[in-house]
């Protein structure tokens, strides 16, 4: 007896079994075929019966793109570099190439090509493998299963080398062919396929390898891409150009054999080089032209619950949702900010320089810059820590802002009707009893030793102009006695600067609390906007992959002080930029106002200034290579030795250069002069419009000289749509033209509070004197 006979019979049995399986599947049957191929075949058939009839084709992961205010790309985020396109957006030459090499009878057969599959099974029996014979529909199913795998086990099952996997693909392929057109299947296949070197889908591949869109691919480019899907890594033209060229020519020969293109044309194209024109697709914020702004945008959106219930959901949407994110970034401003910071603080200095620009009246963040570049090379001064934004969106607690905090007491004093001409005798040093400072809950209860405060600017008698422009500590300590601590602290909070309870001590006015450049820029932008405070906002709109709007981000603004009060602050702070003030040598061509800040031991210095159109905060803080805060005194920063650091001399020049770089883009605009009677306290109260209709309330506010703004809804027992509240509240004194936000009722009764909440009283006492600058 021939030794070959059992093997031949075995092959025939396999072929008969396969033919039976295929026949049943094509017919849509799910009948176990016990006895055809033995127990193993029975197990496979039972597995097929248990499969769902259909495989849901989830949306393919696509890269998210982030744009600046002018619509220019600044960053891409993706798990898979893919941009989905319709079949009409793909070159017909590309369609012909992929069908020729992968499944030339695609439009003639059903879910599978039985002749091709049987031929592959015979070959596989001879070689002991399970490869080949897959139709484009089957390949699309395999890629879909792999793309939707959530675990390693599911990914392994989508690619394992078994008949079970092939049968599973056939079952799903039949469902796809039943429910979708051939064009739909081919379109999904071309979008889901991996083309090597990080390019998923034909559009990304066309952009990556040839710097053109898929609809513009020619025959030889199409043949190159079509040849990649069989082995994207092995035929990758960036790593194996010779193998890629040979594979391209195989595709061209196949197209010629099928009469898709003439043989003579194929031979001419085979003589040509690949003609690559590689276009990189950077991934992540590190590759961005504005890396720390990009980082801020990502963290800002990661905190937005409307983009997903969990952090994981939001991250998945950002990384694979194919979003288009429109931001507030102005690259002209960003380039000016980057250049100014880089010129004055070097990456490897024992210091960190940072700068933020915010637009008054909108809160739009126009630029963020810091001296240490984004990266992992610590020896080169690189870092992934974002120092210029709040801890919520960044990586640092911030830095003491020094005398930049004095403006909150200044504004409160003006708001309380203290005349700008009020003189206060201010000695070089003095001790003020704790009880002289009034809190929201009564006299401040310190340690009984009072606050000893001193000046570095000497002594004298100062009014609100000169005391601010010369930043006299003992002047502001006594001004805080008059205003109390409650209103200035509340005003600071309303302007986005939150002073921790433990630091709400008399010396808080000297800036002993940590903050960051972005927070200070948006706070000072409030003065430029005549008392209208807007939260910092980096994003204006998000669109989905299908261009539908996911979310619009509108400015979140509220009038937190009367316009005349802000006008008076502006008038005082512009003196800082004029002869005699600390900022006289750094003023840009535009009209501007500003305030310096220096903390104890000169560990951080600030300059926060603004025009009516842009507010900018510049900061330099001492920090060694270990990340420990150190004094700037005695350091070499930006190539210059610092004997003693001040906001005007170290941070001021950064602010000045950044502002000078953008001044040509700003239209000339002056601050409004303060009206003497309004500043003196003759202000108009906000009328009570609670219970009115929206139209009635708008009319009443307009008649009173205010600008009404509709701010949405709030829970209230009033009938739905009636006015439930205003911000500020009725009775608040504001100036003519100030904004009053109207909140309408939801018609829902608010829940009753469960108990009374008492206010705690802080007993800490800060005795730091700080620098006057």
Instruction: Report whether 394 contacts 517 (CB < 8 A).
Output: no
pLDDT at 156: 72
Number of helices followed by number of strands (H, E) in the chain: 24, 27
Question: Which of 289, 333, 288 shows the shortest CA–CA distance to 657?
Answer: 333
Instruction: Report whether 524 contacts 615 (CB < 8 A).
Output: yes
DSSP string, 405-431: GHHHHHHHHHHTT--TT--EEE-SEEE
How far apart are alpha carbons 313 and 150 in whole angstroms?
A: 14
Domains of the chain: residue spans and CATH: 82-280 (1.10.3810.10), 685-745 (3.30.10.20)
Distances in whole angstroms, Cα of residue 584 to Cα of each of 285, 440, 516, 572, 596: 37, 38, 24, 14, 12
* Residue spans of alpha helices (H) in 543-645: 563-573
Strand, coil or helix: 534? strand
Neighbours of 30 (CB within 10 A): 15
DSSP state of 650: I
How far apart are alpha carbons 653 and 649 in whole angstroms?
A: 7
How far apart are alpha carbons 401 and 605 in whole angstroms?
A: 7
Tokens representing residue 120 in the block:
């592959």
Residue with structure tokens 């900061």? 619
Instruction: Report whether 360 contacts 526 (CB < 8 A).
Output: yes
Strand, coil or helix: 502? helix
Query: Pairing state of beta strands 399-400 and 424-426?
Result: unpaired
How far apart are alpha carbons 494 and 560 in whole angstroms?
A: 6
How far apart are alpha carbons 233 and 194 in whole angstroms?
A: 9
Q: Which residues pair with 425 in a beta bridge?
A: 461
Strand, coil or helix: 638? coil
How far apart are alpha carbons 200 and 193 in whole angstroms?
A: 6
Residue with structure tokens 């320089």? 353
Instruction: Report whether 371 contacts 349 (CB < 8 A).
Output: yes
pLDDT at 124: 52
Burial state string for 660-680 with b = 16 or more CB within 10 A and e = fewer than 16: bbbbeeeeeeebbebeeebbb
Burial state string for 230-240 with b = 16 or more CB within 10 A and e = fewer than 16: eebeebbbeeb
Question: Which of 32, 10, 28, 303 shows the shortest CA–CA distance to 171?
Answer: 28
Question: Which of 185, 181, 270 shows the shortest CA–CA distance to 219?
Answer: 270
How far apart are alpha carbons 32 and 41 in whole angstroms?
A: 9
Largest Cα span, the chain? 123
pLDDT at 205: 97
Q: What is the dihedral of CA 150, 155, 156, 161, to 10 degrees?
A: 150
**Burial of residue 442, with CB atoms counted within 10 A of its CB: 0-12 exposed, 13-18 middle, 19 or more buried:** exposed
Strand, coil or helix: 728? coil
Instruction: Report whether 148 contacts 172 (CB < 8 A).
Output: no
Averages of pLDDT over runs of 10 residues in the chain (773 residues) are 42 46 44 34 46 70 96 94 96 97 91 64 50 77 85 71 75 89 96 95 97 97 97 95 97 97 97 95 91 97 95 94 97 97 96 97 98 92 94 90 96 92 93 96 92 90 92 97 97 97 95 95 98 98 96 97 94 84 70 91 93 96 83 93 91 94 90 75 79 97 91 94 95 84 90 49 43 65
Helix 563-573 and helix 517-528: axis angle, to 10°?
A: 110
pLDDT at 119: 59
Residue 162 half-sphere exposure, CB side, CA atoms within 13 Å? 12
Question: Which of 400, 393, 397, 399 shows the shortest CA–CA distance to 292?
Answer: 393
Rounded to the nearest angstrom, the gap between the alpha carbon of residue 159 and the centroid of all alpha carbons in its chain is 36
Burial state string for 724-738 with b = 16 or more CB within 10 A and e = fewer than 16: bbbbbeeebbbbeeb
pLDDT at 229: 96
pLDDT at 49: 45
Neighbours of 435 (CB within 10 A): 13
């Amino acid at each position: 007896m021939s030794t070959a006979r059992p093997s031949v019979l075995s092959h025939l049995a396999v072929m008969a079994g396969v033919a039976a399986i295929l026949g049943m599947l094509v017919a849509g049957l799910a009948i176990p075929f016990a006895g055809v191929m033995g127990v193993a075949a029975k197990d496979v058939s039972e597995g097929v019966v248990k499969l769902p009839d259909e495989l849901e084709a989830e949306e393919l992961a696509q890269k998210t793109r982030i744009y600046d205010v002018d619509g220019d790309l600044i960053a891409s985020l993706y798990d898979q570099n893919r941009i989905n396109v319709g079949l009409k957006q793909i070159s017909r030459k590309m369609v012909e190439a992929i069908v020729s090499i992968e499944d030339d009878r695609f439009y003639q057969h059903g879910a599978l090509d039985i002749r091709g599959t049987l031929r592959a099974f015979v070959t596989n029996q001879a070689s002991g493998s399970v490869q080949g014979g897959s139709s484009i529909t089957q390949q699309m199913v395999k890629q879909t299963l792999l793309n939707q795998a959530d675990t390693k086990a599911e990914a392994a099952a989508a690619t394992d080398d078994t008949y079970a996997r092939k049968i599973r693909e056939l079952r799903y392929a039949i469902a796809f062919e039943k429910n979708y057109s051939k064009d739909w299947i081919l379109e999904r296949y071309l979008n889901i396929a991996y083309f090597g070197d990080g390019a998923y889908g034909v559009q990304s591949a066309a952009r990556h390898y040839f710097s053109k869109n898929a609809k513009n691919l020619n025959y030889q480019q199409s043949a190159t891409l079509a040849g990649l899907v069989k082995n994207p890594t092995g035929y990758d033209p960036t790593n194996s150009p010779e193998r890629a060229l040979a594979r391209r020519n195989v595709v061209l020969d196949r197209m010629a054999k099928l009469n898709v293109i003439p043989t003579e044309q194929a031979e001419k194209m085979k003589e040509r080089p690949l003609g690559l024109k590689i276009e990189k697709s950077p991934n992540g914020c590190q590759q961005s032209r504005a890396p720390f702004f990009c980082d801020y945008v990502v963290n800002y959106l990661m905190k937005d619950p409307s983009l997903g219930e969990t952090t994981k959901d939001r991250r998945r949407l950002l990384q694979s949702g194919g979003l288009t994110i429109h931001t507030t970034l102005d690259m002209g401003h960003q380039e000016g900010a980057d250049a100014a910071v880089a010129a004055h603080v070097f990456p490897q200095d024992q210091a960190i320089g940072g700068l933020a620009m915010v637009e008054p009246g909108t809160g739009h963040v126009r630029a963020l810059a810091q001296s240490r570049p984004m990266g992992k090379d610590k020896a080169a001064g690189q870092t992934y820590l974002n120092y210029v934004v709040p801890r919520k969106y960044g990586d640092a607690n911030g830095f003491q802002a020094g005398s930049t905090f004095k403006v909150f007491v200044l504004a409160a004093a003006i708001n309380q009707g203290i005349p700008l001409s009020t003189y206060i005798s201010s000695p070089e040093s003095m001790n003020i009893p704790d009880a002289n400072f009034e809190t929201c809950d009564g006299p401040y209860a310190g340690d009984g030793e009072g606050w000893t405060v001193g000046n570095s600017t000497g002594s004298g008698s100062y009014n609100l102009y000169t005391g601010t422009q010369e930043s006299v500590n003992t002047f502001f300590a006594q001004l805080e006695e008059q205003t109390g601590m409650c209103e200035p602290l509340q005003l600071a909070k309303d302007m986005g600067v939150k002073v921790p309870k433990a630091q709400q001590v008399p010396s808080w006015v000297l800036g002993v609390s940590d903050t960051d450049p972005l927070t200070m820029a948006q706070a000072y932008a409030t003065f430029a906007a005549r008392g209208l405070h807007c939260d910092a906002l980096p994003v204006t709109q998000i669109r989905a992959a299908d261009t539908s709007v996911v979310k619009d981000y509108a400015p979140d603004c509220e009038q937190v002080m009367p316009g005349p009060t802000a006008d008076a602050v502006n008038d005082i702070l512009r003196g800082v930029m004029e002869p005699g003030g600390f900022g006289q040598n750094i003023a840009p061509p535009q009209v501007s106002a500003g305030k310096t800040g220096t903390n104890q031991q000169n560990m951080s210095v600030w300059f926060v200034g603004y025009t009516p159109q842009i507010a900018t905060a510049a900061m330099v803080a001492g920090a060694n290579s270990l990340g420990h805060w150190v004094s700037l005194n005695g350091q070499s920063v930006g190539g210059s030795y610092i004997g003693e650091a001040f906001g005007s001399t170290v941070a001021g020049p950064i602010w000045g250069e950044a502002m000078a770089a953008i001044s040509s883009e700003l239209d000339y605009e002056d601050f409004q002069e303060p009206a003497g009677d309004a500043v003196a306290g003759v202000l108009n109260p906000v009328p009570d419009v609670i219970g009115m209709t929206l139209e009635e309330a708008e009319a009443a506010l307009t008649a009173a000289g205010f600008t009404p703004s509709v701010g949405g809804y709030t829970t209230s027992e009033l009938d739905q749509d009636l006015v439930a509240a205003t911000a500020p509240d009725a009775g608040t004194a504001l100036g003519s033209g100030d904004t009053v936000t109207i909140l309408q009722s939801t018609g829902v009764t608010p829940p009753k509070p469960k108990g009374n909440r008492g206010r705690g009283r802080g007993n800490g006492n800060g005795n730091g004197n700080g620098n006057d600058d």
